[in-house]
Amino acid sequence: MIATALDGLPAPPCAELLGWRLLDARPADGWVRVAFEGRGQFRNPAGVIQGGLLAAMLDDTMGPAVFVMTEGALFTATIDMNVSFLAPAKVGPLFGEGQVIQLGKSVAFIEARLMDEAGTLVARATSSARLIPAAKAL
C-alpha cells in the first residue's frame, strides 16, 4: 500500500468504533478507499445498519481524502453533508471510497460512496467542509 499522511497517526475513537481501516489511496488525486466493520450493535429495529452510522462512515471517508491530498496539512470540519441511502446495509464489511472534487483555499467539496462486500452501493454523500490547518487542529 502507498504511504500517506495518515501513517503513524493514532485513530480517533470514532474511527475505532466504526472499524475504520485505510485500504488504498491516491493522494495526488484526493482519493481514498477505506474499510469499515458493520457491527451487529449498529443495527436498527429492522435489523440493518442505522443510517446515522452509515453517514458517519461516509464522513470518515471524505475527511481523510482531503487529509491525504494535502499531505497532512489540512483537516476538515463538515459544513454540510447530503446523504442518499440506496440499499439496506447488512452486518459485515463495508467499503468507502472518498474523492476530493474541488479543494479551495478555505472550503473543500468532497463526495463518497459506501458499498457492501458484494459491491452493492448502499449510500452516497456529498459534502462541503471548512479547511482547518493541522497545526490549529492538533
Q: Is residue 5 part of a domain?
A: no
pLDDT at 7 over 90: no
**CB of 120 closer than 8 Å to CB of 66:** no
48-94, pLDDT tens digit by residue?
A: 999 999 999 999 999 999 999 999 999 999 999 999 999 999 999 99
CATH of residue 116's domain is 3.10.129.10
Q: Is residue 8 part of a domain?
A: no
Angstrom CA distances, 22 to 6, 43, 54, 65, 84, stand at 9, 23, 17, 11, 23
Q: Is residue 7 part of a domain?
A: no
* 37 vs 18: CA distance, rounded Å: 6
93-125, pLDDT tens digit by residue?
A: 999 999 999 999 999 999 999 999 999 999 999
Q: What is the pLDDT of residue 111?
A: 98
Q: Is residue 90 part of a domain?
A: yes
pLDDT confidence band for 3 (50 / 70 / 90): confident
Q: Which residues contact 80 (CB under 8 A, 6 or more apart)?
A: 127, 128
Domain that holds residue 61: 13-137
Total domains in the chain come to 1
Q: 137 vs 96, which has greater pLDDT?
A: 96
Q: What is the pLDDT of residue 68?
A: 96
Q: Is residue 75 part of a domain?
A: yes
Q: Is residue 54 part of a domain?
A: yes
Q: What is the pLDDT of residue 71?
A: 94
Q: Which three cell numbers stand for residue 104?
A: 479551495
10-37, pLDDT tens digit by residue?
A: 888 999 999 999 999 999 999 999 999 9
Place of cell 478507499: 33
Q: What is the pLDDT of residue 1?
A: 65
Q: Is residue 38 part of a domain?
A: yes
